[in-house]
Amino acid sequence: MRQNQPKKPHKPHLHVTHRRLSAVFFYLAILIGVMISFPIMVTPSPSFADLNPKMQPIPPAATVAAGVSHSVQLDYDGLVYVWGDNAYSQLGMDVGDHTDTPTYLEMPEPAAAVAAGAYHTLVLGRSGTVYAFGRNAFGQIGNGEVANVASPDVVPGLPIIQAIAAGAYHSLALGIDGSVWAWGNNTQQQVGEIQSEQVLGLDGEIIALRNTHPVQIVKEGATAIAAGGNFSLYIDLTGQLFAWGDNSKGQLGDGSTVAHGTPALVTGVNQISAIAAGYEHVLAITRQSGYPQLYVWGSHAIGQLGLGKLNDQNSFVDHPVALDLTGDLDPSDERIVGIYAGYSQSAVLRDASTSRFWTPTPKNEIYLWGLNNTYQLAQQETTSRYEPVQIKGFYDGYFGKKFLPIESIAFGNNHILIQSSKGLLASAGDNSRGQLGYGEVVNATQLTQVTTTDLIRPRWLSNQTIHTSWKDGTILRLKWPEAQDNTAVAGYWVEITTPGQEPVVYDAGLSTAISVPNLQEGTPVQIVVYVYDAYSKEVYRPELGHLTGYVLPDGQSISAYFVASAAVTAPIDLDRHNWQPDPSGHRQAPEVPWSIESIQNKQKILGPYAPYMVGASILVLLMITASVSQHRRTKRKQLLVEVEAESEIEAS
């Protein structure tokens, strides 16, 4: 009976096709969500010059130094700023006994380096001349006298100098010929084993020795110098380290506590590439394992060696000992790029750069340890640290422990200064003499922004251009990519030039697009977009970063109407610096370990976590949508099966 019934035409099961299409769209949506979550994956390829690779390093041009209670900054343009205690004229100017904001110090020439002793300051001019001012009771100014010096004074008797260092009460200089010179307090033979003037007390007893003129200690072969509280060090051409002076805490690294005035080899380390000296301790980077490794020695009474708590409160180490910064016992993972030592504190910069899709992302991690009784480790509490601790936290929408490269760190007796490659400066710790520089004599428990002149001007990447289009044949529409700045772009100017006419300038504000009326399509037009920040608004316009574009009749060349200009022109900064725009072309998050909301009032910059949150939200929505769709497909399939079953029964 069933065979006699006519067969119904077979219809394809549409739910199978729907299921396949849904799966395709589902996985495609996931892929799009991932791309949104990780925008670095789809950024344009930057040019070689934009990346500022290590093949073309730019030496730090902005540095900081700190004395007991005074601070010094060398800015990118070679200008020097000072603030804090001035009881001994260590600020080099008449500002009373202290000042609590950075104050410009007039120098005879632009500076190349700065150094701060306990109560005196050294400045190296770009000509190789050394200037000194401040306390001079031990001859640390080097002018042959012992009276305090209230303004920058040339240190006579030196060759052309390439580096300077200041101990508590003595000074060092490194000549371009590799010679080492020293002067000042020589009570512990930190100047050298030479004849010195006796300083007598009221009872006629000898209380100190001093040298008021520079004395040559090393004739040649030195490549770097450092000055501790009462000892001195230098590195020679072979990477060997030599030390002399006070050795009461083993800071000369020779396995003893006997002081000596002749430079002697520090045993147990070689291939030294950098050194930093605190009051009674030393940090050094060696490459003897093929990787930069950190060695420490000297006093560890307050944890300044980072070796953990030892049984003896007056503990010290009289020979170099390796300090495993990351704790993973892997020398290749240390990646140390900077070391700094203070009175009883230490700091290390670790290279935490990554390469995502062949695009380098330079970052630093900051490790601190040692004395912290006045918040000088910027940890918001006063527990001294006997092991390295990282600076990390939530800063203006950025949470993390990796920051844009740090150029310089300096410790005073009880305060810290940090200079970022963004051209920003911050401080923390004791502020009883205004040494933190933010206008108040109040201690800071965490890093606080110090207001300084911003010399870094906004710029574009070398592959960015202006986009143009016509509307109704008489309106030229312009759009350009957003420029980047170390702090915040303040606005754009657009200069429109047509043949035979004076340029017309439009103020675009913070907009990146404008429409220019009263132009005829086919008219040759030169377009120049200038960008400025709060500090460069009044700068001569051609010295700003700018984009140049042209609208020309078909088949015509630029030279027929205008003097050709580069599409992207970098700003004329007052000097070189390390900050570079992000290769993605997007504004960078602050990425410094302190709040800079006060200077980020022009633009809202999302922290780097924001794209991830957006992407995650999209993925969650997609998953919910997929779940609902799957549920509906299941129900539809069940209904279809039931209908087919009923049809089978009816057919039977």
Structure confidence at residue 48 (pLDDT): 30
Structure confidence at residue 593 (pLDDT): 92
Of 114 and 554, more confident: 114
The C-alpha atoms of residue 241 and residue 562 are separated, in whole angstroms, by: 61
**Residue 336 binned pLDDT confidence (cut-offs 50, 70, 90):** very high
Q: Which CATH superfamily is domain 467-572 in?
A: Immunoglobulins (2.60.40.10)
Sort 375 into a burial class: Cβ within 10 Å, 0-12 / 13-18 / 19+.
Answer: buried
| 441-455 pLDDT per residue, tens | 899 999 999 999 889
Give the domain ranges of the chain.
Answer: 14-38+614-651, 467-572
| 235-255 pLDDT per residue, tens | 999 999 999 999 999 999 999
Structure confidence at residue 303 (pLDDT): 94
Residue 643 has pLDDT above 80, yes or no: no
Residue 614 has pLDDT above 70, yes or no: no
| 78-89 pLDDT per residue, tens | 999 999 999 999
Give the mean pLDDT of the chain: 86
Residue with tokens 């008219």: 523
Residue with tokens 């170099």: 320
Token pair recorded at residue 522: 């086919």
Residue 149 has pLDDT above 60, yes or no: yes
Token pair recorded at residue 555: 């088949």
**Residue 624 binned pLDDT confidence (cut-offs 50, 70, 90):** confident
Residue 2 has pLDDT above 50, yes or no: no
Residue 314 has pLDDT above 60, yes or no: yes
Structure confidence at residue 558 (pLDDT): 93
Structure confidence at residue 127 (pLDDT): 95
**Residue 264 binned pLDDT confidence (cut-offs 50, 70, 90):** very high
Residue 429 has pLDDT above 50, yes or no: yes
Residue with tokens 């977009």: 529
Residue 150 has pLDDT above 80, yes or no: yes
Structure confidence at residue 632 (pLDDT): 73
Please choose, from the candidates 527, 518, 503, the residue with its C-alpha nearest in 3D space to the C-alpha of residue 473. 518
| 454-473 pLDDT per residue, tens | 899 999 998 899 999 999 99
Question: Which amino acid makes up residue 250?
Answer: G
Angular region, 323: left φ>0, alpha ψ -120 to 50, beta rest: beta
The C-alpha atoms of residue 270 and residue 265 are separated, in whole angstroms, by: 10
| 522-540 pLDDT per residue, tens | 999 999 999 999 999 999 9
Lowest mean pLDDT among 517-521, 545-549, 588-592: 588-592
